[in-house]
Structure 1
Amino acid sequence: MMNMHLLGIPVVGMGSQPEEDDELNYMQMPQGMATYRPTILPEQEDLADYPQVFTLLQQAQDLLDVGAGHLDLSAAQPAEKRLLNQILGEGEVSILFDTGNGGHIEIQETSLPGVWWHRTLDALKTCVDESVEVAGIPDLIRNTTFANAAPVLALPDVQHLPEGVINAPGLLAELQEQVQQQYVGHVINLTLLPLSPEDLECITQTLSVGKAAILSRGYGNCRITATAIRHVWWVQYFNSSDTLILNTLEVVVVPLVACASSEDLADSRERLQEIREALQ
């Protein structure tokens, strides 16, 4: 099965570069997700005893034809899910969603962009449900990430700021205006701003951490954390050497970098058809 682990990726708010010995607070994200591997289709003899896999592939094709929907895997045998998982492969976007009470949902994009594999785990890390979804971004992330998030920021008291906090209050006030006016699509680029480590800690503590964390892998990593403020995401781009090259706060429903486009879905529809023909 696709493999994701709840380890902590350090998501650090960096504006101007801090000194080497400075310590910054961390926002937790998923780490240790498997790197991309080309899909290796099973041999026909491996599929011979599991004709239901072809039915599941047809149902996935039907969902791609309409561009959205869910495929329930609760009735599938473990071997059928294993083979389906092998056929769909693993893509570049991995998501963790905190369901509370120690449980979480792992969502892995397959090698077909816009086709997502869901695994629901309880507090004991036991998988209790699996499904496949076709969507630009899973409905859970789009509709539930900020369901209980704060509608506004609790701005720090400018009369009692910790020493070293200089520019964070102004930046947070700007962000507050965007959130209140629902200017969805607004981006604040932290990379070029003169922010001290104390500023960054103030911003991190004010925004806190929300329910969803996303890792989009490509030539580098894009690490995306939902904050505890409605529609505010912390988005960080790292190069192939894992050096932070762009650090932003985005006021948006879901950052576009995590989403499959309509063109991606159309391509996935064609690719799945080709895969099904190759397996016949």
Structure 2
Amino acid sequence: MYGFEIERPTSVADAVAALGADEAQALGGGQTLIPTLKQRLAMPSKLVALSGIAELRYVRREGDVLKIGGGTTHGTVAREAAGNFPGLAALAAKIGDPAVRNRGTIGGSLANNDPSACYPAAALACGATIVTNSREIAADDYFQGMFTTALEEGEIVTEVRFPIPEKAAYTKFEQPASRFALVGVFVAKYADGVRVAVTGASNDGVFRWSAAEEALSGSFSADAVAGLAAPDGSDMISDLHGSGAYRAHLVGVMTKRAVVAAG
């Protein structure tokens, strides 16, 4: 590690002001940033810790929308979303291990947009709205590639709004060492159609599988996607854990499993 300042604001306004300093960086749960600092892949002069901002920690339902504060931990989502959105709660319950779930936050995960993270698939499949200290961003516009989002410098994810689907499920094929998704698929069925989002597979990060959405909107069953060609393997991540073709195959497998799990 190296020397840096740390500031612990207790309000969003104070956090935004602190992030205006040169080389300041927000610190959510620290599950990605702290290892990055240890490897000196990032060297901000100031960290602005968001964990002390109580107004960012909540899970509440308003009508047909589940609202989750950006500072809410995965463990809290797993417990408090179960009654209203069990598919999302089940996703949160399988992120990392207990230590990660008790520190990592939904806002931090979405801000980082790791190509193998789980929450981006849920947000994109549900057509969620990512709320910041200054605006609202539709999930379809928010994710812009691997580790890239629509967030601007100093912008903080304050809330995520999930339209609650009729049926939903997330299935992932885990990379056993990290517990990130080698391939993860979130399927969400609404009255006007089905949305399918895939994480862990593509060099471009999380994406929607439009062919599966069309097929499942016509018939919400695993058989509806059984004959579909998986997305082109040339766009898939290829590494020591699996080739692009292998990941492309897993997209179809995990989509079928998600549909079955959704019921």
Do they superpose with TM above 0.5?
no
Which has more helix, going by share of residues?
2
Q: Could you say which structure has the greater relative contact order, defined with CA pairs below 8 angstroms and 6 or more residues apart?
A: 1
